[in-house]
Amino acid sequence: MPMKASLLLVVFLLLARLAQAGPVTPLNLLTAQSQQKVKVEARALGLGPDKLRCVLTNLTGQELKLRVPPGLHFAADDAGAQDIFTFEQKLLVLAPGASKEVPLWAFCMEQHDYSPRENGGYALQGLAGKGLQPLGDSLQKYPGLAEYYGQMFVWSLSDGGSLREVSVDSKLLRGAKNVLAYIGKVTGRAVPRARASNDNRPSVKTFSKRATLLYHSPTAQVATLKVYDTDGSEMYELLKDRRLTPGVVHYTVGLNSIVDIDETPVYTIRLLSPSGQVLKEVKVDANTSEQVTEPEKVVFNFPFEVKNLTRNARIRVRLTDGTLVEEILERKYLPPGSFRMQLFFNHLYPSGTAFVAQLETADGKVLSKQPVVKVEEAPVPAPAAPAPAAPARRRR
């Protein structure tokens, strides 16, 4: 056979094999991750379109065609932050050893946690549970539903959140009815109707705000943290009968809800004593700043002398009018002698507020009293260097 004919035959056979093989099916990202072919790193910039940034790195020496499937669950590194659910499908090609950033639409999976902090870390867990993964397929098919109603749909499955009437363009009406029917089947709850809208104006919006409650507990006590709606009705309980130690406590709360499109809600976070007394409350609306005023630390020296054995002695910081600020130290027995202690406390009062430190008995008798004068904190002494080892001696 002539050489030219042989070459043509080889080319024909190669083309035939390629035709039989067909196009290469993209590898599912979860499969690629489990096979250690791809490294997944994710960081969040908040919630919404393109707010979850995934960096995918090809760990192999071959080109990879990847498919990012709908319905993924990303867990937050911060235990108090919301886990994230994604619904978008993405296709991409990664060269050997290459990395590529893939932006994804992020929905919250935990309604009572706070939204992701800027550049908060996330880890891919797999397909989302609680019936969310099929919802991801539907939102991928009907992205117009995701924009205004996706978060409501997610919370209805992940947190048992309530559903409100859905008003959509007529082109999305069938998809909206299918999604509502699916949610009703999964949850066993009645679902609202979906209707076509002439003005394409959504019926609801998402309220999402991170709020902080700071409270200076003067003594050890028990408290409960609750959230109330605009009408003053209790919405849910965040903490029950939590033991507080003396000092400043810091609670970061996620206030997330679905509200009517024209609603301007005002929520109240309350820290309550066992008797129902309001220890501290914070009101939160759409304009509430998420910036937090940090407590001021005051370090001071407290020299005093005790003439007799004192039982249940306490060192307390008070305002000049006698108001208890914090019980700093408690000693069951305090022997006679001269003492000099360096103590500190954090407070939420305006800078420059005058404080008084007092040594008191359990019944309130004052044994020593002096103004609090702020000083520099004494440095912690470095640990002593270990003694050199004795030289080894030869056994005779």
Note the helical H segments in the chain.
3-21, 29-34, 132-141, 143-158, 173-187
When pLDDT is cut at 50, 70 and 90, the band that residue 18 belongs to is very low
Supply the pLDDT for residue 34. 97
When pLDDT is cut at 50, 70 and 90, the band that residue 260 belongs to is very high
When pLDDT is cut at 50, 70 and 90, the band that residue 177 belongs to is very high
296-371: which CATH topology? Immunoglobulin-like (2.60.40)
Of 384 and 104, the one with more pLDDT: 104
User: Are 70 and 86 within 8 A, CB to CB?
Assistant: yes
Which residues touch 99 (CB under 8 Å, ≥6 apart)?
55, 56, 57, 58
Q: What percent of the chain has pLDDT over 70?
A: 90
Smallest Cα–Cα separation from 252: which of 346, 114, 138, 120?
A: 114
Output the DSSP codes for 78-93. Answer: STTBPPEEE---EEEE
pTM for the predicted model, two decimal places: 0.79
Rounded average pLDDT over 195-220: 92
| Mean pLDDT score across all residues of the chain | 90
Supply the pLDDT for residue 289. 85
Question: What Å distances lie between residue 129 and 85, 163, 176, 326, CA to CA?
Answer: 10, 19, 21, 46
Domain ranges of the chain: 27-196, 207-284, 296-371
Same fold, 207-284 and 296-371: yes
Rounded average pLDDT over 95-108: 96
Find tokens 């307390």 and name the residue.
Answer: 316
pLDDT greater than 90 at residue 93: yes
Tokens coding 224: 């409960």
**pLDDT tens per residue, range 352-377:** 999 999 999 988 899 999 999 999 98
**pLDDT tens per residue, range 201-212:** 899 999 999 999
Of 60 and 391, the one with more pLDDT: 60
pLDDT greater than 50 at residue 52: yes
Supply the pLDDT for residue 117. 79
pLDDT greater than 90 at residue 198: no
> Which CATH number applies to 207-284?
2.60.40.10
User: Are 248 and 215 within 8 A, CB to CB?
Assistant: yes
pLDDT greater than 80 at residue 275: yes
pLDDT greater than 70 at residue 385: no
When pLDDT is cut at 50, 70 and 90, the band that residue 3 belongs to is low
When pLDDT is cut at 50, 70 and 90, the band that residue 21 belongs to is very low
When pLDDT is cut at 50, 70 and 90, the band that residue 11 belongs to is very low
When pLDDT is cut at 50, 70 and 90, the band that residue 107 belongs to is very high
pLDDT greater than 50 at residue 393: no
| Region of poorest pLDDT, from 116-125, 269-278, 316-325 | 116-125
**pLDDT tens per residue, range 282-305:** 999 999 988 888 999 999 999 999
pLDDT greater than 90 at residue 16: no
User: Are 348 and 214 within 8 A, CB to CB?
Assistant: yes
User: Are 273 and 222 within 8 A, CB to CB?
Assistant: yes
